[in-house]
Amino acid sequence: MAGSGSSRAVDASSVAKAFDAHARSYDKLVGANPGYHEHLRLSAKRMGLKGSGLRLLDLGCGTGASTAALLDAYPGSQVTAVDASAEMLGQARRKNWPPGVRFVHSRMEDLDRAGVQGPFDGILAAYLVRNLKDRDAGLARMLELLAPGAPVAVHEYSVRDSARSRLKWNLVCAMVIIPMGTLRTGSGDIYRYLRRSVVEFDGVTTFSERLSRAGFEDIRVQTMDGWQTHVVHTFLGRRPGLAADDPLLDPEVAEVETPPDGVPVV
């Protein structure tokens, strides 16, 4: 891929292979992004789970940043972490993890064959849904994997509803993400794909409606702080089946550290 100038060189069908090529440099690159790890932890905490020994699913775990976020929010949990990129998983497995963490190489469409079985007490899907070929099918599968009343947190870019957010995103890509990524890896293809895929992805309202059509309820949207305000969001929903005041969920925790200008509930 090195040297390609086409933003079409990477698409949803080839993004896993593209991440394979960039796996070794990925942690250094995201580590230079202010708030990257803090925001993942915030999305995990916003699920508002209570209790010990939770069974959690991390979809699109990459090199393990979102896995670490889940463990930080819910210590002692059993986490099944899934990614379609073998090389990204290889980087994740090289790190030190507590007992109960399992990494699985699988596409979203192949979870059954990979032995990923519910029910889970919560699902974190970070920067995943935007890259799925069939987003509705992916969300439907998440719903099936959740226990009744359990939450999902989709941590994702969404700028389509806001001209200001699109401008901010395009400027950050043009001035920082694409040049820095190209300098560190020798190829800018995946970073040009990132810019384009975010611009083309659902707006906040559209994605919230997509979650509702998939069968999720109690849908809420919260944004982040820093330059990612109204660029990166936590989309929250629950599988129907338990009352909103069920002891599994802690509403106060689910609302912690929400920026004052957070996106209103749709």
Spatial contact of 232 and 36, defined as CB atoms under 8 Å apart = no
Half-sphere exposure for 63 (CA within 13 Å, toward CB): 18
pLDDT at 259: 40
Q: What is the pLDDT of residue 237?
A: 97
- Cis peptide before 259, with omega less than 30 degrees from 0? no
Whether 213 is in a domain gets the answer: yes
Instruction: Tell me how many domains the chain contains.
Output: 1
Is 222 within the bounds of a domain?
Answer: yes
Question: Is 1 a residue whose pLDDT tops 60?
Answer: no
Range in 47-51, 67-71, 145-149, 244-248 with the lowest mean pLDDT: 244-248
Please list the alpha-helical segments (H only) found in 76-234: 86-93, 135-145, 163-172, 178-185, 189-200, 204-214
Is residue 179 domain-resident?
no
Helix axes 135-145 and 204-214, enclosed angle (nearest 10): 50
CATH number of the domain at 122, please.
3.40.50.150
Give the Cα separation of 263 and 266 in Å (integer): 9
Residue labelled with tokens 């700028």: 159
Kindly report the CA angle at 111 between 39 and 7, in degrees rounded to 5?
Answer: 60
Does some domain include residue 55? yes
CA-to-CA separations, 153 to 17, 135, 183, 187, 216, in angstroms, rounded: 25, 15, 33, 31, 11
Looking at residue 191, what is its pLDDT? 87
> What is the C-alpha separation between 222 and 235, in angstroms, rounded?
7
Q: Which residue do the tokens 């129907």 mark?
A: 240
- Determine whether 16 is exposed, middle or buried from the number of CB atoms within 10 Å of its CB (0-12, 13-18, 19+): middle
Does residue 20 fall inside a structural domain?
A: no
Domain extent for 150? 34-162+202-254
224-252 pLDDT, tens digit each: 999 999 999 999 999 998 654 554 555 55
Report if residue 192 sits inside a domain: no
Q: Which sign does the torsion angle of CA 185, 71, 46, 142 carry? A: positive
Q: Which residues are registered as beta bridge partners of 233?
A: 156, 223
Is 152 among the domain residues? Answer: yes
Total-model pTM = 0.86
Rounded Cα gap, residues 243 and 37, in angstroms: 31
What pLDDT score was predicted for residue 265? Answer: 35
Q: How far apart, in whole angstroms, are the C-alpha atoms of residue 120 and residue 80?
A: 9
Domain assignment of residue 79, yes or no: yes
Residues shown for the chain: 266
Residue 84 Ramachandran class (φ > 0 left, ψ -120 to 50 alpha, else beta): alpha
pLDDT digit string (tens) for 156-172? 999 999 999 999 999 99
